[in-house]
Chains A and B, each alone.
Chain A
Amino acid sequence: MDIVFLTFILVLSVFLGFELISKVPATLHTPLMSGANAISGITLAGAFLAAGATDNAMASWLGGAAVACATINVIGGYMVTDRMLGMFKSKRGDQS
């Protein structure tokens, strides 16, 4: 994939991100932050290449560590966000 194409994706995503988040109520700032944080663990999808390299011990070590770190980020982030959101309740008693 060439540089221009990747940059194109980047620019569009940044604009989209700004549009999406700009109207979040203050009540949800923490879950939003930890939910977004979990998404940043997407690095996991890019860590497999190095982690699976059996012919290069160093790459494999670094990749394995990256997989572990990113998994902490992903699993921990989503679970903690879900736990927080489970506590946000409406007056009418229906769970949100």
Chain B
Amino acid sequence: MSIELVANLAYIVSAALFIFGLKMLGSPATARRGNALSSLGMLLAVSAGLISSKTVGYEVILIGILIGGIIGALAARLVAMTSMPEMVALFNGSGGAASLLVGWGTLYLGSDSISTFTAATIVLAILIGGLTFTGSLIAYGKLSERINSAAVVFPLQRLVNSLLLLAILSCAVLFALEPSATSVYLYALLGLALLLGIMAVIPIGGADMPVVISLLNSYSGIAACAAGFAVNNNILIVAGALVGASGIILTNIMCKAMNRSLANVLFSGFGAAKTAKAVEGEVKPISVEDAYYILEAASNVCFVPGYGMAVAQAQHVVKELGKILEANGCEVSYAIHPVAGRMPGHMNVLLAEADVPYEQLVEMDDINPRIENVDVAIVIGANDVVNPSAREDADSPIYGMPIINVDQARTVFVLKRSMASGFSGVDNPLFFGENTRMLFGDAKESISGVIGEFG
């Protein structure tokens, strides 16, 4: 048996492990084992890749694995759960960079002339890999608030982007016609691909980040796929395609949850076009003490968390309050909007960190039909996902987005730092609602205060 054959058999096994692993990630009870299976598949595929690559020098490989392993392990261990979105963005970016480098490096290997097809796949690997790399870095910057997370729009943006795409296309064609490692068009492509990633993500605002992250996730898979074509390796194609497909599905779920098309998210600077009706009214503040009296008498309480909960690191006190309410004979649930937070499932992870059992986390479609039976809906740092304008005001930029109808609960507590408008700059009539009480201040302190009253 040749080494080639052994490696290919190993690839088949690892592809099966990836598939089983992803399948098991579909249920909370089996997800952890699924992830372990998938990592086993990765170990097998990487080992097979190593023995079959006919390498002569292992020093560079060892050093690379050592450096990457240490960085990856440290990052994974040290990151706070609230910073998970930017961490995922960074890992994504490094995956994209790897595909770009593989595509580029392959050019130096072919002693004989490179076919047009291989050249085209190298172009794709460089292009998608580079786009994923810088796009993820920008997403990281926006998510960690290192750069302004608002949408960046400037005059003639579309024209500039169209010219950029045109330039990429011409360079790609010119390079593929005469592929060589020293081609000027190659360097132009590298630069343009990196630029494209930046241009693609800057016009997207912070509230749309769940879409961007899932889309970049998909790109990193497609980039791996392209690299697989470039180096003739079928496990790269299989695994890359699986990741690409899963990213597209998540992207689609996120878009649906905002009632927007992908094109609308990607190309329109959010909130630029439409202006919502100015909402006016009187807010009714409530003290911690009064909040306690209402909660003490409630028999059904639903928490509705948003990004503000992550910012205030309030998940642990929220859980504590939930536990106290349960001990008080109250039914407690946590309603989570699909795009609450900055990445798909962001709130679920935070509440899981705080030991909330996953049975208590309910989805929007489950809570809305029975929201009238909820005595108190406690909105913690969420804004757009509970904004009734999405239902009522056709001029609102978020009109048509499905929301959690907390305004239909008997009482709504809104925990808010002050009366500034939320992330997308949309006014929220919920704050002026008849049954709404505003609990101003830091969410963590407010909830701790209520817990203190119970004590």
Residues of A within 8 A of B (CB): 1, 3, 6, 9-10, 13-18, 20-54, 56, 58-91, 96
Q: Which residues from chain B contact A96 at a C-beta distance below 8 Å?
A: 28-32, 358
> B98 contacts which of A9, A15, A61, A73 (Cβ < 8 Å)?
A73
5 closest cross-chain pairs (CB), A and B: A52-B55, A71-B68, A17-B245, A45-B49, A67-B64
Task: Tell me if A35 and B35 are in contact (CB < 8 A).
Answer: yes
Q: Across the interface, do A34 and B94 meet the contact criterion of CB distance under 8 Å?
A: no
A contact residues around B234 at 8 Å (CB): 1, 6, 9
Whether the pair B31, A31 counts as a contact (CB closer than 8 A) is yes
Residue B247 is within 8 A (CB to CB) of chain A in the complex: yes
Give the chain A neighbours of B151 by CB distance below 8 A. Answer: none
Q: Taking beta carbons and an 8 Å cutoff, which residues of B are in contact with A?
A: 18-19, 21-23, 25-32, 34-36, 38-39, 42, 45-46, 48-50, 53-58, 60-61, 63-65, 67-69, 71-73, 75-77, 79, 81, 84, 87-88, 91-92, 94-95, 97-99, 101-102, 104-106, 108-109, 117, 181, 213-214, 217, 220-221, 223-225, 227-250, 253, 336, 338, 343-346, 348-349, 352-353, 355, 357-361, 363
Given A59-B108, A89-B352: A44 and B73 interface contact (C-beta under 8 Å): no
Contact in complex: A39, B57 (CB < 8 Å): no
Name, among B19, B60, B223, B237, the residue most crowded by chain A CB atoms within 10 Å (CB to CB). B60
Most buried by A among B39, B68, B88: B68
For the complex, give the distance between the alpha carbons of A1 and B54 in Å.
17
What's the minimum C-beta distance from B197 to chain A, rounded to whole angstroms?
15
Other-chain contact of A90, B29, B46, B48, B77 (Cβ < 8 Å): B29
Chain B residues lying within 8 Å of A69, measured Cβ to Cβ, are: 68, 94-95, 97-98, 101
Question: Do the beta carbons of A36 and B26 come within 8 Å of each other?
Answer: no
Main secondary structure of the interface of A (DSSP, over half): helix
The answer for the CA separation of A14 and B262 in the assembled complex, in Å, is: 20
**With a CB–CB cut-off of 8 A, which chain A residues contact B55?**
48-49, 51-53
Q: What chain A residues lie within 8 Å of B220 (beta carbons)?
A: 37, 40, 73
Beyond the given A66-B97, A71-B64, could you list 14 further A-B residue pairs with CB under 8 A, ordered by the A residue number? A10-B237, A27-B345, A27-B358, A33-B88, A40-B92, A45-B46, A48-B49, A51-B60, A62-B104, A66-B98, A69-B94, A87-B353, A90-B358, A96-B31
Say whether B68 contacts A13, CB under 8 Å: no
The answer to whether B68 and A72 have CB atoms under 8 Å apart is: yes
Chain A residues within 8 Å of B104, by CB: 62
* Given A31-B31, A59-B105: A39 touches B18 (CB 8 Å cut-off): yes
Given contacts A70-B98, A78-B35, A87-B352, contact A27 B46 (CB under 8 A): no
CB <8 Å contact, B346 and A30: yes
B236 CB contact (under 8 Å) in A16, A28, A42: A42
Question: How far does the Cβ of B316 sit from chain A's closest Cβ, in whole Å?
Answer: 12
Q: How many angstroms from the CA of A89 to the CA of B32 in the assembled complex? A: 11
Residue of B nearest to A90 (CB): B357
Q: Which of B73, B95, B247, B358 contacts A41 (CB 8 A)?
A: B95
Q: Are B242 and A39 in contact (CB under 8 A)?
A: yes
Check B244 against A14 for contact (C-beta < 8 Å).
Answer: yes
Q: How far is the CB of B238 from chain A (nearest CB, A)?
A: 5
Are B28 and A13 within 8 A (Cβ)?
no
Name B36's closest neighbour in chain A (CB-CB).
A82
How far, in angstroms, from A63 to B53 measured CA to CA in the complex?
Answer: 12
